[in-house]
Each structure stands twice: as C-alpha cells, then as structure tokens.
Structure 1
Amino acid sequence: MKIRRRQFFHLSAGAALAIVAHGCSQSQAEAPQPSGTTNSATENPGKISIGFWPVASGLPLFVADKRGYFKDAGLDVEVVKFASPNQVAEALIAGRLQGTGNGVASGVLGLSEITSPGLFKIIAANPSNVDYKLDQVIVAKNSSIQSVADLKGKKFATGPGAQNLAIAEAILAAAGVTNPQVQQLEVRQHVAAIESGQIDAAYTLEPTGTVGEMKGITRTLENGVVSKYILGDPKAPWFGGSAVLSSKFIQQYPATTKTYIEAYRRAIEDIRNKPDEMRQYMVGYTAIEGDLVQKVPLVAYTMYDEFKPEDIGYFQKFFDFMTDTKVFTKSVDVASLLYKPA
C-alpha cells in the first residue's frame, strides 16, 4: 500500500492510534461535543493524566494542550513528561495515567498489552515511511559508505532496548550483512559517536539525522528503513508510535472518552492543514527549538476510524515481526487494540 498524501494532511486522515472501546454499553453520537460539555451529566472523571515522550511525533498532544482544545471541551487534562516510552507504559499499567500521546513506541505498548491484557485502546497512530521521515540510518558526512549493504564489518549502533536491537539486526540482515555486530547507545549519543569514530553508522530516529546534518557531522544514508527492510515496501506505513486511552477509563467514562478524542482529532487536523504553524508547539514539550523546529520532519497521523485494512495489515506485520524476533512473548492482534465507539 502506498501512503497517500490525503491520508496525512486532509481532514479524513487520522492522527494517532485509535482508542478501542472495551466493554462499553452506552452509545453516544460521533459528532464533536459542544465546548464545556461531555454529553453526560453523570460523568465526572476529574483530572485526566496523559503521558508523553518528548519527541516531535507527540505534536498532537502538545497542540491540543497549548491551544486549549481540552479546556474548550470542558476537560481537565494534565500532560506528563517521561524520559522513555517504557516509563510511560509502566505508569499506564500502574494506573497513574489514563492514556498516552502520540510518539510512545507501539512496540512498548504491545509489550504492556502482553503484560496486562486489555490495558488500552488505540485512538491514533503516527505512521512514517521513506517520505514521512522518522527512522533512518546515518553515517559520517564524508563516509565512503553508500548503502546499508556497505555496513558489513562496520561498527553499527542502535538505540537501547530489545525492539531497537531487533530492528537494527533485521535491517542489516535484509541488506545482506551477515553476523552483524550491533551496539546499543542512547539516541542522543549517535551523532557524537559517529564524529568521534566510535561507530561508523547508526539506526536512529529523527531529529537525530537533521541535527547531525545541521552541524555538518553526519548525512542520512537511508530514510524509512523499517518500511523498506521489515515491511517490504519503502512507502509502507510503519506505525511506530501510538496514542491510547486506558480501557478502564473508556469503560467508566464513555462520553468523556469521545469528547477527549474529538479534541485530539482537532489538533491533528490543525497539523494536517497548517503544519508549519503547528511546529512551534514542539517548543517546551521537547528539546527541539530554534532553527530545528522548522527543519525536523513531521510524521503522519491516522485516527482510529481512518485505518484501512491495508494499514492494519502493515501494523500487524510489524507486531508479527516483534513476535518472530522474540521481543514479544506471544502474538498481539492489532485490530483488537483499535478503539471502537459503543
């Protein structure tokens, strides 16, 4: 499946992974609710805590928070920063969060579903590919390396964690690099490690490549490497991050859930229609600032009700890869994780 431009920027395209309704019996209208109401006099959720990882793909949450879309909808939403996707997932499992913003790794959320079955539903996901850039392999600016296949015998790094290691090894194997030796380094160290000669190349995530290029240290060897080497098509959508709500919250507050989702959708539509104007809302929520704000690539967003069968198929293919590489201890069904209004 090719990722269509309207799927990323038009009002019909979705913004983050969809929240799947879990056991809700109360039916509500799908249209956005008027400001200041949740369409239910009996629902009083109080403060709604939403965790985020401070990366560019979390933009919908930042826009909705900063532009007051949650307040407009009568919701008391608190956004909470965490140092890693793992910490966000742990807080969700512990019940300290009612949901997550986009950018929280889908693989980590999949692991949390295995740990606590029925934990959450996806309201939106953020796909990327060769055109909508997130994942990439970078090398030194003046390196003689011209393709991933040239990395045989080279010092290669990836971010920490089983998911990053599995992806990095799979990319190299698919390019014909046998017996790959991959070391794990924090993503923020990748550019410096290449500059010092500690490594020759890295599988990394934006804005690392853009930062390295702006500093004149690195260049991007390939973008969209997960789509190309794992999903089998450079244009295929890799749903690397997701926004979710807890199933418990959805069950207890079905009308509030719908109101929250429509406020979130409003932010996604802003990003699709006015991407350059919305970029400013990365500042303060992430370490991205200055000239980097306008240069870092933006990913796409797909709302729960915008997923097509091909999208679910590619999302499932990534989760099956996680199972095949033993990152997941059992298979996880993506379709069952998508939010479905009662």
Structure 2
Amino acid sequence: MYLRGKTAVIGLIVGLLLVISGCGGPEPQSAGGKPALIKVGMMPITDNLPFWVAEEKGYFTEEGLEVELVPFPSALERDSAFIAGQIDAGVGDLLAVAAMNNGGTPVRAVCVAQGAVPGENRFAILAAPRSGITSPEHLKNVPIALSLNTINEYITDSLLGARGLQPGEIDKTNIVKLPIRMDALLNGQVKAAALPDPFATLAEIKGARLVVDNTENTVAQTVVIVRKETLDTKLVGMQKLIRAYTRAVEDLQSDPLQYETLLTEKAKVPADVLSSNEHPLALHFSAPGLPDKDSLERTITWMKDHDLLQKELNYDDLVDGRVISK
C-alpha cells in the first residue's frame, strides 16, 4: 500500500515537471523538425517594403524562420484571411485592429510600421486641376472622394478638423478603389480627394493641387498586426520575424529608393513617381516601437462616434508588447 502510494506521488511529481518544462520548451515545429511556418499577408503598399527587403536579403533564413509572404490585392481580402486564420501577420492600421477585435477575431498590434514620426506614411487631401481650391477652408461643404468608415475617412476628419472645419462641414463621396478615385480627381469628376502615397504624389505630378497632408502631424500609424493565437503559440518565431524586419529597416534608413525594383514590382509604385524630381516620393522608416496610446485612444473614440465599435476596447486589448520587448 505504501509502495503504491509512493509510486503515485512520484508519478504526479514527474507529470508536473513535464508540464512546467513544456511551458518554457521549444515552439511547435512542422514536419521534419523545421520551424512552424509564419504567413504574412502582403498588400502592394510601401509600408511592406521591410518585409520584402528581409526576404530578398535572407534575413528570415538567418533567423532560422520559414516565412511565406502571401500577396493580397486589398485590405478587405487581407482582413478576411486574418479572420479565416489563413495568415499570422500583416501590416494594417489601428482601425483594422479594433474592427477585427470588435468582430470576434483576436489580433494585436505588435509594433509601428509607418508613422512613428511625421513624414512617414504620407496621406494627402488634393484638389482637382482647375478647381480653384487652394486651402482647407475652400473645402467647406465640398464633396471629398474617399473610402468611408476606413482610415481614409479618419485621417480626412482629423486633418480638416485641425484646420477649423466642423464635422457637419466635411462632405464626403464614397469611392473605394484608389485608381478610380485618383482618375475622378484628375478628370474633374470630383473637386477633391483623399489619397495615400504613392497615389497622392502621382496625382500631384499629373496636375492635382495639394491642399493639406500629414507631413507635420502623423495623425495615424500603420502597424504590424498579429493573430493573438500566433503570439501565444509562436512568440519566439514572431520575435525573430520582427528582428529580421528591423534589420531590413536599418538597411532602408540610408536610402529606401535604392530598392527601386521592389518598389515597382511589389509595392506597385509607378515609374513616374520614382523618377520625379519636382515631386519626389517621401519614404522613411523608423525602428519598430509600440503604437502611441493617445493616437489609439483617438482612433477608438472616432470609431465609437461613427458607430463602428460595439465592444469596449482599450490599449491593452489591441496592443501586445511581447514581440519587441526583448
């Protein structure tokens, strides 16, 4: 009886030791002992340039990672892949982070991609050629083409609100697709449009007039978004991913335009933009840091005011500091 009891106690202790050691053990691996695959959703935007550079220079391989960069034509398709569990990470905005959590898909922002300092992630409101619009005051009650309920609308409200326009004085026309929105602006179908780079710069090259942009005040940041499940099961892998990403950012800080082939083929930046001397593309990357709390709180407030959030969300619900804290 004593022996059986002692054996049971030993067995319990061994089991506990196995559980404890498992908590600090290696992350799950795929067949053949390789690291588990990390899939990163990639839209054709300049914000993603560090990931393409890291892939091209072999930084993922040097970190012992298996990374697949999965292309998506738009944020809608990328976010759908997040929701379906088809990708682990991607670059988006804080509105997307909040919206996915609001809809029941736990994701977190782990670091800033663009917008750590003014001059990154340029976004502009432009006037059509021959419209006569030259200042934000001229946009009072003038329809502005943008994509409603997105970061486009949030930045437009923020930029014009800072210049004295009241919410009821900011008129909006919904044109979702960026190329169609830019063409409508250049053709005079709309008098004003909100555009991110490189579309904003291309529109200027083709005759549109800059009214206001966010080069003096970032307004909104893009971030690296990761599924919470991925953070909980592949945290070391995500830390290595961002370490490789950071190395690529360091390469880009000297001259991002030297990666012209990647910008043209992957980010779809038009050749006219890359070759322009009168309107050079403003492109800069900062070392990854955590999103700004005040900026995130303003984003949440704006989404509530526009009936885009039903859940109560705060900074800790949307940001995870584990990836860049080590």
The TM-score, its normalising length taken from structure 1, stands at: 0.74
TM-score w.r.t. structure 2 length?
0.78
Alignment coverage as a number of residue pairs: 291
| Structure 1 residue aligned with 2:264 | 283
Residue in structure 2 matched with residue 197 of structure 1 by the alignment? 188
Supply the AA of the counterpart residue of 2:36: G
CA distance in 1: counterparts of 2:23 and 2:105, whole angstroms: 20
1:188 equivalenced with 2:179 (yes/no): yes
Q: Say whether the 8 Å CA contact 1:64–1:70 is kept in structure 2.
A: yes
Query: CA 1:188–1:340 in structure 2 vs 1: closer, same or farther (change >3 Å)?
Result: same
What is the aligned counterpart of 2:203 among 209, 212, 216?
212
For 2:241, the equivalent position in structure 1 comes to 260
Residues 242-288 of structure 1, C-alpha deviations (whole Å, 9 max, x = no match)? 11222212222232222222111111121223323245422321221
Cα 1:130–1:253 change in 2 (3 A) is: closer
Decide which structure has greater helix share. 2
2:165 maps to what in 1?
176
Alpha-carbon distance between aligned partners in 2 of 1:118 and 1:25, rounded to the nearest angstrom: 22
What secondary structure sits across from 1:120 in the alignment? strand
Worse-superposed segment, 168-177 or 265-274: 168-177
CA distance in 2, matches of 1:326, 1:340: 31
Q: Distance in 1 between matches of 2:213 and 2:116?
A: 10
Whether 1:339 and 2:321 are equivalent positions in the alignment is yes
In structure 2, do the counterparts of structure 1 residues 205 and 128 end up closer, same or farther at CA, with 3 Å as the change threshold? farther
Aligned residue in 2 for 1:81: 71
**Residues 139/180 of structure 1: CA separation in 2 closer, same or farther (3 Å cut):** same
Q: Are residue 60 (structure 1) and residue 55 (structure 2) matched?
A: no
Which whole-Å CA distance do the structure 1 matches of 2:180 and 2:220 have between them?
24
Q: Tell which deviates more after alignment, 279-288 or 294-303.
A: 294-303
Q: Retained in 2: the 8 A contact 1:129–1:238?
A: no
Are the aligned partners of 1:114 and 1:330 in contact in 2 as well (CA < 8 Å)? yes
Q: Deviations over 1:57-81 (max 9, x none)?
A: 1111121122221122222211111
Task: Answer whether contact 1:43 1:256 (CA < 8 A) is retained.
Answer: no
Query: Greater CA deviation, 238-247 or 273-282?
Result: 273-282
Cα distance change, pair 188–182 in 1 and its aligned pair in 2 (3 A): same
1:105 aligned to 79, 93, 106, which one? 93
Q: Which moved more, 1:330-339 or 1:83-92?
A: 330-339
Structure-to-structure mapping, 1:248-327, within 5 angstroms? 248-293=229-274, 295-303=280-288, 306-307=289-290, 311-327=292-308
1:41/1:90 Cα in 2 relative to 1: closer, same or farther (>3 Å)? closer
Q: Distance in 2 between matches of 1:273 and 1:211?
A: 24
Partners of 1:163 and 1:298 lie apart in 2 by 19
The verdict on how the C-alpha distance between 1:262 and 1:211 changes in structure 2, with shifts beyond 3 A counting, is: same
Is the deviation greater in 157-166 or in 141-150? Answer: 157-166
RMSD over aligned CA atoms reads 2.9
**Larger relative CO (CA 8 A, sep 6+): 1 or 2?**
1
Asked whether the 8 Å contact 1:312–1:334 carries over to 2, the reply is: yes
Note if contact 1:140-1:219 (Cα within 8 Å) is conserved in structure 2.
Answer: yes
Change (3 A) 1:274 1:197: closer
Change (3 A) 1:118 1:41: closer
Asked if the contact 2:29/2:36 (under 8 Å) is kept, the reply is no
* Offset, 1:129: 6.7
What is the correspondence of 1:4-23 to structure 2 with a 5 Å cutoff?
none
CA contact (8 A) 1:126 1:302 kept: no
Gap runs ≥5 in structure 1: 1-23, 28-39, 226-233
Mapped to 2, the partners of 1:179 and 1:254 lie a distance apart of 46
Q: Give me the identity figure in percent.
A: 20
Letter in 2 for 1:195: L
State the shift of 1:107 in Å: 1.0
